[in-house]
Amino acid sequence: MALWFLHLLSVYYFSCVDATVFMLHNNCKNPVWPGFHSAVGKPLLGNGGFKLKPGQKVRISVPKDWSGRLWGRSGCTFNKKGLGTCVTGDCGGLLRCTSSNSVPPATFVDFSQESTDFYDVSLIYGYNMPLSIIPKGGSGMCQPCRCVSDLNPKCPSKLRVRRKGKVVACKSACMVFGTPRYCCTFSYANSDKCKPTRYSHVFKRACPSAYSYPYDDPPIFTSCKGANYLIKFC
CB 49 within 8 A of CB 95: yes
pLDDT of residue 219: 67
Distance (Å) of CA 142 to CA 133, 224, 233: 10, 5, 19
Q: Report pTM.
A: 0.89
Render pLDDT for 176-195 as a digit per residue (tens, 0 to 9): 999 999 999 999 999 999 99
pLDDT of residue 60: 97
Inform me whether the pLDDT recorded for 223 exceeds 90.
no
Inform me whether the pLDDT recorded for 13 exceeds 50.
no
pLDDT of residue 206: 96
Render pLDDT for 93-151 as a digit per residue (tens, 0 to 9): 999 998 777 889 999 999 999 889 999 999 999 999 999 999 999 999 999 999 999 99
For residue 7, the Cα-to-chain-centroid distance in whole angstroms is 34
Nearest to 233 by CA among 53, 113, 61: 53
Render pLDDT for 40-98 as a digit per residue (tens, 0 to 9): 999 999 999 999 999 999 999 999 899 999 999 999 999 999 999 999 999 999 999 98
Strand 117-122 to 139-141 pairing: unpaired
Decide: helix, strand or coil at residue 171: coil
Q: How confident is the model at residue 4 (pLDDT cuts 50, 70, 90)?
A: very low
Decide: helix, strand or coil at residue 67: strand
Sequence ranges of the domains in the chain: 21-233
Fold of 21-233: Thaumatin (2.60.110)
